[in-house]
Amino acid sequence: MEDTAADLRTTSDALIRDLEVLAAIEDEKRTLPPGDPRLVELAKRVEDVARRVLSSTVRQRQLTEVGHEQVEAAEPGTAVASIDETPRAIAEILAEWRAAERRATAAEPGSAEAAEARALGDHHREEYRRALEERQASS
């Protein structure tokens, strides 16, 4: 059951990140005038991220079905954590944040790649801050 919960947390986190990235790219697209060549690049990036979102939703449904079966088969009274209650390792969050920051630095300024990397970096920074606060509160 723990593996399914961890996989569901990972899938849910990826889905939320991709939705945040979609919103960030769409916000940026709205500021550009018609005919700006970046609009095409940003639209392609939206399409790529949207494909990941669809894939994540399918994976999430599959995992929730497995989780439901596991809960049904478990002994009565077995504690089951929600997705939000299933923690991610702080080291994993930090590694993903650093990777997003490196990707943003390496990307061409103003590109869709840079916008996506910045959005991911912002998400991971906030997740890392919350994880540290939770760790300090439980100590």
% residues pLDDT > 90 (the chain): 48
pLDDT digits (tens, 9 = 90+) for 52-74: 999 999 999 999 999 999 888 88
CA dist 10 and 2 (Å) reads 12
At 36, is the pLDDT very low, low, confident or very high (cuts 50, 70, 90)? very high
CA dist 55 and 134 (Å) reads 30
Question: In the predicted model, is pLDDT for residue 1 greater than 70?
Answer: no
Burial class (CB in 10 A: 0-12, 13-18, 19+), 55: middle
- How many structural domains compose the chain? 1
Task: Read off the tokens for 115.
Answer: 């916008």
| CA 107-26-12 angle, 5° bins | 85
The per-residue pLDDT of the chain, averaged, comes to: 89
Give the domain range for residue 113: 2-138
Question: In the predicted model, is pLDDT for residue 98 greater than 80?
Answer: yes
